[in-house]
Amino acid sequence: MKRIDAASKAVALATKGFMPEAEGDALYGAACLACDELPGLPMVEVGTYCGRSTVWLGAAAKSKKTVLFTVDHHSGSEENQQGWEWFDESLVDSQTNRLNTLPTFIQTMNQAQLGDVVVPIVAESQLASYQFASEIAFCFIDGGHGKVPTQIDYAGWAPKVAKSGYLAIHDVFIDSRDGGQAPHDFIYRPALDSGKFIEVLSAGSLRVLKRNN
C-alpha cells in the first residue's frame, strides 16, 4: 500500500479531527489507487472539519497530479455543537459566537502545502452536489452523522462516482454499541444494496466500495 510522506502525515496527526492514523493511511492508499485507475478525474471529500482527513486525501491528489474538492459549510455538524460530545470551544468564532472551522482548515492546508491541489467548497452538501458536474474518481463521505445528512450525502454524491470509481465512508459501525448507525444504514447499506458497489477495503470504521456498473 502506498504511504503518505512523513511531513504531510505529521500535519494530519497534529490537526483536530476524528480520523485515526491507520484509517487515514488506508484512505490515502485507496485514493492513490483510484487516481491510478481513473487518471484525470477529481476527488471529492464531503465533510472537511479542520482538514485532518483532507491532508491524507490532498497528499494523494498532489502525488497523482489531480484535484481534491472538499465540501463543508464549516459551521459544524449537529454532533459538533455546544452540549454535544464532540463540541470544541476553541473553534467558536468570538464575533459570531458560532462554530467556524474554516480558519483552522485554511491554516492546515497552508501547513501541509496543499493549496495548489485542494479546492474548498464552502457550502451545504446538497447545494454543492447539485452544481458539481464532473464524474469523480474517489468520493469520501464523512459529513453529518444523523439520518437526514447521511441520506442527503448519499443521494447527492454516490451517483457522481464514475464507473470503476470508489466511494469511501467513515464511521461505519456494524454494531450499534460501537457507534452511531446513520453512515451504515443510510450510505453503506444502500450503496451495497443498489448493486452498483462492492466492498473492497475495510479498515477500522472506514469502508471503501468500488462502483462496478
Structural domain that includes position 189: 6-211
User: Is the pTM value of this prediction over 0.85?
Assistant: yes
Domain-embedded: residue 139: yes
Domain-embedded: residue 1: no
**Cα separation, 60 vs 57, whole angstroms:** 5
CATH number at residue 128: 3.40.50.150
Alpha helices in the chain (DSSP H): 6-14, 21-37, 52-63, 102-112, 125-131, 147-157, 182-183, 189-193
Domain-embedded: residue 69: yes
**Cα separation, 178 vs 193, whole angstroms:** 22
In order along its 213 residues, the chain shows pLDDT tens digits of 789 999 999 999 999 988 999 999 999 999 999 999 999 999 999 999 999 999 999 999 999 999 999 999 987 666 655 655 655 676 676 677 677 889 999 999 999 999 999 999 999 999 999 999 999 999 999 998 999 999 999 999 999 999 999 999 999 999 988 888 999 999 999 999 999 999 999 999 999 999 998
What is the Cα gyration radius of the chain?
16
Q: Which of 73, 74, 145, 170 is catalytic?
A: 145
Q: How far apart are the first and last CA of the chain?
A: 25
**Cα separation, 192 vs 15, whole angstroms:** 32
Residue 182 three-state SS:
helix
Does residue 74 carry a catalytic annotation? no
Domain-embedded: residue 189: yes
Q: Is the dihedral of CA 2, 33, 7, 205 positive or negative?
A: negative
Grid coordinates belonging to 140: 469520501
Q: How many domains does the chain have?
A: 1
